[in-house]
Structure 1
Amino acid sequence: MTDPHPPRGLLARFVPRRAGLRALLAGLASALLASAAPGPAHAAEPVFPPAGSLGLVPPPGMTPSEKFAGFEHRSGASIILVEMPPEAWAQINGRFTPEALAATGFRVKGGSEALPVAGGEGFVLRGTQGANGLTYAKWVAVVRGGAGTGLVTVQVPESAAEQVPEAAVEAALRTVAFRAPGSVADQIAALPYTVGDMAGFRPVRTLMGNALLLTDGPKDVDPEGSQTMVIVAPSLGRAAVGAGQESAFARKALGTLREVKDLTVTDEERSTRGDAVVLRLRGSGADARSGRPVAVTQTILFEGPGYVRVLGLTSADRPDALARAERVAASIATRRNGDAR
Structure 2
Amino acid sequence: MIDGSFLRALFARLRRPSLRGLVAGLVGALAAILPARAEPVFPPAGSLGLAPPAGMTPAKSFAGFEHRSGASIILMEMPPEAWDQISQKFTPEAVAASGFRVKGEREALPVQGGEGFVLRGSQSANGLTYTKWVAVVRGAPGTGLVTVQVPESAAKQVPGKAVEAALRTIAFRAKASVADQVAALPYTIGDTAGYRPVVVFAGNSLILTEGPKDVDPQGEQPAILITPSLGQVAVPSGGEATLARRVFAAHKDARDVAVTGEESSPRGSAIVVRLRGTYTDTRTSRPMAMTQTMVFEGDRYLRVLGFADAAKADALARAERVAASVALR
TM-score with structure 1 setting the length: 0.83
1:145 and 2:145 correspond? no
Q: 1:271 aligns with which of 255, 262, 265?
A: 265
Q: Partner amino acid for 1:89?
A: W
1:214 and 2:187 correspond? no
**TM alignment of 1:223-234, pairs within 5 A:** 223-234=217-228
> Which residue is equivalent to 2:167?
173
| Residues 295-320 of structure 1 deviation map (CA, whole Å, 9 limit, x = unaligned) | 11110011122111101122112111
> CA separation of 1:194/1:43 partners in 2, compared to 1, >3 Å: closer, same or farther?
farther
| Residues 138-165 of structure 1 deviation map (CA, whole Å, 9 limit, x = unaligned) | 1111111001111100000001111111
Q: Which runs of 5+ in 1 are unaligned?
A: 1-41, 336-341
Query: Equivalent residue of 1:93, what SS?
Result: helix
1:155 and 2:140 correspond? no
> Which residue is equivalent to 2:244?
250
Query: Equivalent residue of 1:94, what SS?
Result: helix
Q: Partner amino acid for 1:223?
A: P
Supply the distance in 2 between the matched residues of 1:70 and 1:328 (Cα, whole angstroms): 27
How much is the aligned-residue C-alpha RMSD, in angstroms? 1.4
Q: Which runs of 5+ in 2 are unaligned?
A: 1-35
> Which residue is equivalent to 1:328?
322
Query: Equivalent residue of 1:102, what SS?
Result: helix
**1:43 offset after TM fit, Å?**
7.2
Q: Partner amino acid for 1:294?
A: M
1:104 and 2:110 correspond? no
Q: Which has the higher contact order (CA 8 A, sep 6+)?
A: 1
Figure out how many residues of one structure are paired with residues of the other and give that number: 294
1:113 and 2:107 correspond? yes
Choose between structure 1 and 2: higher helix proportion.
2
> Which residue is equivalent to 2:12?
none
Supply the distance in 2 between the matched residues of 1:43 and 1:165 (Cα, whole angstroms): 19
Structure number, greater radius of gyration: 2
Q: 2:43 aligns with which of 49, 72, 75?
A: 49
TM-score with structure 2 setting the length: 0.86
Supply the distance in 2 between the matched residues of 1:288 and 1:255 (Cα, whole angstroms): 14
> Which residue is equivalent to 2:276?
282
Supply the distance in 2 between the matched residues of 1:241 and 1:43 (Cα, whole angstroms): 43
Q: 1:68 aligns with which of 53, 62, 87?
A: 62
Q: Partner amino acid for 1:281?
A: L
**1:219 offset after TM fit, Å?**
2.3
1:81 and 2:75 correspond? yes
**1:103 offset after TM fit, Å?**
1.7
CA contact (8 A) 1:240 1:304 kept: no
| Residues 263-296 of structure 1 deviation map (CA, whole Å, 9 limit, x = unaligned) | 1111111122112111001111111122111111
CA contact (8 A) 1:43 1:57 kept: no
**1:217 offset after TM fit, Å?**
2.2
Supply the distance in 2 between the matched residues of 1:223 and 1:109 (Cα, whole angstroms): 35
> Which residue is equivalent to 1:238?
232
| Residues 207-249 of structure 1 deviation map (CA, whole Å, 9 limit, x = unaligned) | 2111111111222222222222211111122214222211111
CA contact (8 A) 2:128 2:151 kept: yes
> Which residue is equivalent to 2:130?
136
Supply the distance in 2 between the matched residues of 1:225 and 1:105 (Cα, whole angstroms): 30
